[in-house]
């Protein structure tokens, strides 16, 4: 209880401070200064903006956005940004409340612009926020970013639109690659077992079914009942592999592995998937497209 009160107090103080300092210390630059929350959207902005933008991500590689708590260092980043790009749908938790109170900033809530009828609904007025795993949704979001960059720097309209056209073509090629690879998995084996339910949109687009220990947020409870039920499912369907995630603690998957073993079946951990964060600059998963391909290869090679 004390920690919750402490976090809430910090959140309130920080919000008030950011609002008070909103118009101060603005640094002049020829580039559009963009602040993003997760690194997927950092990459998105960079793909279209190239050298016309300067992009800073609030959250580092491997960081869990569901449990992110703003730091004092974020104040300067928010102050300096000309445009704030974020996922929405409660992915960033209380950060969305902070953004909503900034009256003098351009803000782009990327999920807000998507058709709600196409999103995965989890509860009344609650939707799965991991929309970037559906490439069709990503293509829409790329267009939203392009429109905003053109609004902020209209003289570079042709530059941004050319980058958009090239990137959309790359995304189509990526879609074809993933479809072909998923076809290598027998239909009866197309089950993706993960720690938290981040891959619903991927499964929806490419014909798989996701089963997860936790719901769409890593903040949800992990119970012995959920692990037992999932272990029974794995045993019944004779699933070959389960997967850990780069931004989620591995303990729940290890517990699931032990639960399956107790039923007389050995299950392997097929590898690590990138869910709420891409890899760092040194990894092979440091762009959206690379991340999708690496995730796909990991899944297919373990389940086929």
pLDDT tens column, 35-86: 999 999 999 999 999 999 999 999 988 888 888 888 888 888 998 999 999 9
- Delimiting residues of CATH 3.40.50.1980 domain(s) in the chain: 2-176, 180-303
Per-residue HEC secondary structure of 120-159 comes to: CEEECCEECCCHHHCHHHHHHHHHHHHHHHHHHCHHHHHH
Q: Residue 263 corresponds to which tokens in the numbers above?
A: 């039923």
pLDDT band at 232 (very low <50, low <70, confident <90, very high): very high
Fold of 180-303: Rossmann fold (3.40.50)
Could you say which DSSP state residue 259 is in?
H
pLDDT at 2 over 60: no
User: What would the pLDDT profile of 132-186 be if each residue is shown by its tens digit?
Assistant: 999 999 999 999 999 999 999 999 999 999 999 999 999 999 999 999 999 999 9
CA distance 83 to 103: 12
- 122-125 contacts, C-beta under 8 A, 24 or more apart: 122/215, 122/216
Residue 21 predicted with pLDDT over 80: no
Sign of CA dihedral 108, 111, 114, 116: negative
Distance CA 146, CA 69 (A): 29
Q: How far apart are CA 300 and CA 304, in angstroms?
A: 6
* Number of helices and strands in the chain (H, E): 10, 10
Angle subtended at Cα 150 by Cα 144 and Cα 155, rounded to the nearest 5 degrees: 165
Q: What percent of the chain clears pLDDT 70, i.e. is strictly above it?
A: 89
Residue whose C-alpha is closest to residue 201's, from 118, 97, 95, 298: 118
Q: Which CATH number is correct for 2-176, 3.40.50.1980, 3.20.20.105, 1.20.120.430, 3.40.50.300?
A: 3.40.50.1980
């Amino acid at each position: 209880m004390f920690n919750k009160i402490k976090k809430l107090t910090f959140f309130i103080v920080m919000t008030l401070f950011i609002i008070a300092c909103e118009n101060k210390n603005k640094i002049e630059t020829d580039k559009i200064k963009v602040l993003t929350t997760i690194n997927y959207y950092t990459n998105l902005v960079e793909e279209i903006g190239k050298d016309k933008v300067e992009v800073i991500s609030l959250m580092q590689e491997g960081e869990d956005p569901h449990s992110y708590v703003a730091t004092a260092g974020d104040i300067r980043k928010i102050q300096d940004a000309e445009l704030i790009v974020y996922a929405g749908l409660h992915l960033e938790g209380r950060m969305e409340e902070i953004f909503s109170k900034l009256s003098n900033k351009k803000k782009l809530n990327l999920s807000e612009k998507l058709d709600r009828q196409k999103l995965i609904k989890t509860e009344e007025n609650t939707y799965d926020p991991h929309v970037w795993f559906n490439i069709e949704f990503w293509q829409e979001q790329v267009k939203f970013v392009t429109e905003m960059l053109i609004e902020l720097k209209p003289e570079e309209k042709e530059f941004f639109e050319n980058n958009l056209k090239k990137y959309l073509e790359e995304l189509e090629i990526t879609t074809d690659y993933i479809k072909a690879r998923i076809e290598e998995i027998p239909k009866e084996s197309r089950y993706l077992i993960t720690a938290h339910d981040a891959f619903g949109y991927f499964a929806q687009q490419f014909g798989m079914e996701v089963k997860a220990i936790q719901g769409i947020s890593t903040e949800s409870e992990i119970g012995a009942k959920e692990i037992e039920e999932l272990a029974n499912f794995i045993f019944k369907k004779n699933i070959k592999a389960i997967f850990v995630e780069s931004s989620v603690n591995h303990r729940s998957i290890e517990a699931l592995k032990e639960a399956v073993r107790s039923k007389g079946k050995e299950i392997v951990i097929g590898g690590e998937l990138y869910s709420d964060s891409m890899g760092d600059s040194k990894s092979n998963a440091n762009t959206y497209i690379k991340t999708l391909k690496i995730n796909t290869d990991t899944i297919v090679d373990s389940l086929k």
